[in-house]
Chains A and B, each alone.
Chain A
Amino acid sequence: MSGPGDERPLLGVRGLVKRYGAQVGCLDVGFDLWPGEVLGIVGESGSGKTTVLDCLSGRVTADGGQVVYVNGAGVGVDMVGLDESARRRLLRSEWGVVHQNARDGLRMGVSAGANVGERLMALGARHYGRVRGQAFDWLGRVEIGQDRIDDLPETFSGGMLQRLQIARNLVTAPRLVLMDEPTGGLDVSVQARLLDLLRGLVEDLGLSAVIVTHDLAVARLLAHRLLVMRGGEIVEAGLTDQVLDDPQHPYAQLLVSSVLHP
């Protein structure tokens, strides 16, 4: 894992603002994400976590601020002012987005193999055998039985759908993955397996990721650093263990103390 020794962060966010009319989505949010780092954003519902994530991916247009991403060619691009074609190209090549609801991120009408292969084909893969080979390989890596490659996602369980969505995103080896509540809506044992898997993948691939979650246990397991958000603002930031074991801000203290075994 690399750290602040590298000259530039992968993602530099400064003064990000998003308002929904009179409502505040997020206010003056700023942080750096370094290559190989997993950053967790925690906070209660409505604290602006998902708004920040949506501003990063461009799904929501920020009202102000900067999101500078250093792309594969080493050029910094500001995601906020980026034109749509470049943004969409980035989203299907160097970035991955894992939705809370796996159905939002999958094509439910086509087989698991086609779901995994879509990004490859979108990037120009034109050899059926090789696309299928990679899909096969990735289903194994996310612990979906490889005999399920031709089955429709409709026939998968919730945990399998989420793993399939992860495979679909990671197949093109993205440099940055945005995850919104990747374990939401799954039962505890399935969550544990998914977290195990994610942790392994993050380490193996040296992924950089931003993970939004309200579950502090998820944050503890996956994130290197944490941001605590409330009312659209970052109220505390620091190393995960530090924030969870010794929270400074009253709200962070409340958040940590409201969980039985964080």
Chain B
Amino acid sequence: MSYNFAYLDEQTKRMIRRAILKAVAVPGYQVPFGSREMPLSYGWGTGGVQVTASVIGPGDVLKVIDQGADDTTNAVSIRHFFARTTGVATTTRTDQATLIQTRHRIPETPLRPGQIVVFQVPIPEALRWLEPREVETRKMHALEEYGVMYVRLYEDITRHGRVAQTYEYPVIVNGRYLMRPSPIPKFDNPKLDRCPALLLFGAGREKRIYAVPPWTTVKSLDFDDHPFEVEHWDRPCGLCGARGIFLDELIVDDKGGRLFICSDTDYCSRRQAVRPDGEALS
């Protein structure tokens, strides 16, 4: 027995494509869709997998990222899933991929026109912890009532001296809709703004799809006197020496030894490959 191309049946793909088209037409707006059971559990990227399955074609080259890495369980199994059900070529290289499904990071290598990035989203509703009623949050989106989001930023600054939110930092898309970027670190927020690639967001359990079309403005919320800032590290990557990119902290021994390395494994390994000695920096 064999599955249909990309696992989902054609009618389902058609339904999801319609939702995607609507999402692209209204940037940042959450479009409901009939999310299907997928052969992986909720929280592992069922939304992203369905979006990917609906847009993937035989000519695509697929890359799958999990927290920046190409070699973690989630990334490996989803990549394997599509390799088996579509036979498309896969890669770990951002610059060679036409379709990138990602969990919680945007690659360090700049995206280019024609690429599609699919995000796995656990909770699509930006107002979720501020307003418990779904009916009310939809109304707030419809009427553009986003004052309460600023109340949250105000509280953060009051308690911590700065906005303490470091991931899924709220943004306004195209000057209109408040959007929760899938839990990417706020470090990646500037990459959303006027991004040349098409960005699609799929939430399987919550049954929502939203999108940021290429070259759309995406503004991170802030106050005039507390402007939006991204994280900085005072040291380079311990493996490739890169600066100004997102680093993960690793504990390497039981004596408190730490190593800060690139979260983006593709970026890091290609930088190491061009270094003549290949030795890790200390």
Contacts and interface: CB of A to CB of B under 8 A. Distances in A.
Interface of A: 84-85, 88-89, 92, 107, 110-111, 113-114, 117-119, 121-123, 126-129, 131-132, 150
Nearest to A110: B155
Contacts of A88: 143, 145
A117 B154 contact: yes
A201 to B, nearest CB: 23
A122 B225 contact: no
Nearest to A107: B151
B226 to A, nearest CB: 5
Given A126-B223, A126-B224, A128-B223, A121 B158 contact: no
Contacts of B157: 128
Given A126-B223, A127-B225, A150 B147 contact: no
B13 to A, nearest CB: 36
A88 B158 CA distance: 28
9 contacts: A107-B151, A110-B155, A114-B151, A117-B154, A122-B148, A126-B224, A127-B223, A129-B225, A131-B223
B150 A121 contact: yes
Given A121-B150, A122-B147, 14 more contacts: A84-B143, A89-B143, A92-B147, A110-B151, A110-B152, A114-B154, A114-B158, A117-B154, A118-B148, A119-B147, A121-B151, A122-B145, A126-B223, A131-B154
A121 B154 CA distance: 9
Contacts of A119: 147
A85 to B, nearest CB: 5
Interface string B107-147: 00000000000000000000000000000000100110101
Contacts of B159: 111, 150
Contacts of B147: 92, 118-119, 121-123
Contacts of B158: 111, 113-114, 132, 150
A94 to B, nearest CB: 15
A107 B131 CA distance: 11
A129 B226 CA distance: 9
Interface residues of B, number: 19
Name the residue among A89, A107, A123, A128 with the largest chain B CB count within 10 angstroms.
A128
Interface of B: 139, 142-143, 145, 147-148, 150-152, 154-155, 157-159, 222-226
Nearest to A127: B224
B145 A128 contact: no
Nearest to A122: B147
B40 to A, nearest CB: 35
Contact of B151 (A92, A118, A127): A118
B143 A85 contact: yes
Contacts of A84: 139, 143
A74 B143 CA distance: 24
A113 B224 contact: no
Contacts of A129: 225
A128 B162 CA distance: 11
Contacts of A131: 154, 223
Contact of A128 (B148, B152, B226): B226
A85 B143 CA distance: 6
A89 B143 CA distance: 9
B27 to A, nearest CB: 20
B117 to A, nearest CB: 30
A58 to B, nearest CB: 14
Contacts of A150: 158-159
Nearest to B150: A121
B146 to A, nearest CB: 8
Nearest to A120: B147
B151 A117 contact: yes
A67 B9 CA distance: 55
B147 to A, nearest CB: 3
Nearest to B221: A126
A80 to B, nearest CB: 19
A155 B143 CA distance: 33
In order of increasing CB-CB distance, the 9 nearest A-B pairs are A122-B147, A121-B150, A128-B223, A127-B224, A85-B143, A121-B147, A114-B154, A114-B151, A110-B155
A92 to B, nearest CB: 8
Contacts of A117: 151, 154
Contacts of B154: 110, 113-114, 117, 121, 128, 131-132
B158 to A, nearest CB: 6
Contacts of A126: 150, 222-224
Nearest to B226: A128
Nearest to A152: B155
A89 B144 CA distance: 10
A240 B71 CA distance: 79
Name the residue among B145, B157, B223 with the largest chain A CB count within 10 angstroms.
B223
Contacts of B226: 128
Contacts of B225: 127-129
A54 B82 CA distance: 57
